[in-house]
Chains A and B, each alone.
Chain A
Amino acid sequence: MSATESRAARLRGLGRGAAPYLLSLPSWAYLTAFFVVPMAAMLSMSLATGNPITGYVFSWNFAEFGRAVSQYDTQLLRSFGYGALSTFITLVLTYPVAYWIAFYGGRHKGTFLFLILLPFFVSFVIRTLAWQFILADQGFLFGTLKQLHILPERFYLLSSTTAVIGGLVYNSVAYYILPLYVALEKIDRRVVRAAGDLYASPVATFWKVILPLSAPGIFAGFLLVFVTNVGDFVNAAVLGGPGTTMIGNIIQYNFFDAQNYPMAATLSSILMFLLIVCIYVYARIFGAEQIQEYAA
């Protein structure tokens, strides 16, 4: 079947060689103008010198990168730390759910996935705001527990690292479950049964068969969630305090308050390099084509 199919494709390809290029043209034009070129504009902005009053001029000034790292080392490290920790916690929390839906969801798989996506009908800011509301020091939860003397009066959660990482985890849940589900769903159930037939214990089957086979989903989810969370500023702004400032907050500050565009562009470029490294590693391990399957 594949032989005839590929021959047919080749024949069609000969007749309409230009078709794929014409079909790709609108997207390519748009994404070049408003995704690729802006990245270049950002890089060139990061190499500019000047000040907010006279404006900035491009000048191969790499010094901003050194200054960014030395001035904001705390926030950069914190962002990577928060990003890595929140992504790992999300993986551990969501893997069993994705596993359960993929293996035991039966006819109701679609319904379960729908329920997982249900919170998306509420804006991301408002979901985060709702957590601020729930975790408030004198809110209906902690305030009541304090009145009942179950919690000490000075107990708090908002403005803490725990609250920010909790918010990052909550907001990443669906982005991790979906790629995990896709990977687990693909596993041929006969392979799992074969492991059992060969007297592998359920635990051994999981560690030696299921977990390795779901690796593409684990990495795809990690890539999506980690990069997003490193760059987030909303959770830190809504749930955090002065001690939880992330690099996203610093980028915002430099663009809109300090109007130090080169610094803001430099910090964003550092995040972009992180993304490129992650994508490169992923493409080397699993291939470029597979990358998309897990993306949406």
Chain B
Amino acid sequence: MSGVPSTLDEGRRGPARWLLAVYSGLFLIYTLVPIAVMITFSFNQAPNGRVSLRWIGFTLDSYRHAFAIADLTTALIHSLVVAVVAMIASVVIATPLALALARYRFRGKSATDVVIFADIAAPAVVVGASLLSLFLTLNLPRGLFTIFIAHIAFDIAFAVVVIRARVATLDPALDRAAADLGATPWVAFWTVTFPLILPGIIGAGMLAFALSIDDLIITSFVAGQTLTFPLWVYGAVKTGIPPQVFVLSTLIFLGGALIAVLNSVLAHRAGRRAAA
């Protein structure tokens, strides 16, 4: 940021730094323990259709029957549909506000800042309970539609913050140059600004997707009888978890991690090409 290389402290290689590195390594391992357990036990035999607490033996059976539980598969499809819809809608709604916040000073700007932050910081229970209060007051039946409404509402705030950070890195002179060359604001936006903030928009979309597909608490208030993947799993906690839950979750984990790695590699390459 300040342009000072971060190598200032590199010379200090005392035991403190070594301890810190070991601790951070152990900490990373701790955060990954439940993931490792989940993946390992997705390969465990499950004689009575429930995940066994002890290791019985290796099998690929659960993977072969990954989609055997129809309503679990339906719940997963609901989750994916909700995440895609919420991702697209929230990014479309949030991008103009992000531009406004990053580029203009205007009346109501700090009020907007506070509302966006409140939306992010609000406990999920409060967001869920307040939306349910509204839907009950309006007598609106709960289902996929109310899940869309809720997810877009909490995704917008995160999308605004991410896209705004990207817009702030742009040189406003680029816009002026486009205007000087005769571009209307509309043309300037699509040909100059949009391609430059696209990485931020994609990042915001990925965050929105991840938040949506993961959400349990807010969804539990507004879903009615409709089940999403997390809701299905939460409902099954009391009765025992079928191995398919671990299998599908492992697949989502690997898919998500792969996409994230690919995205960062591509962004890295694009960055280097731009710098060259």
Contact = CB atoms under 8 A, between A and B. Distances in A.
Interface of A: 5, 8-9, 13, 16, 19-28, 30-31, 34-39, 41-42, 44-45, 93-94, 96-97, 99-101, 103-106, 110, 112, 114-116, 118-127, 129-134, 136, 138-140, 143, 170, 173-174, 185-186, 188-190, 192-193, 202, 223-224, 227-228, 230-234, 237-238, 247-248, 251-252, 255, 261, 264-265, 268, 271-272, 275-276, 278-279, 283, 288-289, 291-292, 295-296
A103 B10 CA distance: 9
A227 B115 CA distance: 16
Contacts of B217: 231-234, 248
Given A31-B153, A42-B129, A292 B116 contact: yes
Interface stretch (B57-65, B66-74, B229-237): B229-237
Given A35-B130, A170-B31, A192-B8, 5 more contacts: A94-B27, A134-B33, A134-B34, A232-B125, A247-B125
B178 interface: no
Nearest to A101: B24
B275 interface: no
Contacts of B161: 292, 295-296
A251 B218 CA distance: 12
B117 interface: yes
B100 interface: yes
Contacts of B150: 34
Contacts of B118: 35, 275-276, 279
B43 interface: no
Interface string B33-57: 1110110010000000001011100
Contacts of B20: 96, 99-100, 104
A231 to B, nearest CB: 3
Interface string B84-109: 00000000111011011101111011
Given A8-B172, A34-B131, A41-B134, A121 B264 contact: no
B145 interface: no
Contacts of A115: 28, 31-32
Q: What 4 A-B pairs are tightest by C-beta distance, nearest first?
A: A231-B123, A130-B34, A268-B129, A23-B100
B227 interface: no
A126 B245 contact: yes
Nearest to A120: B210
A9 B122 contact: no
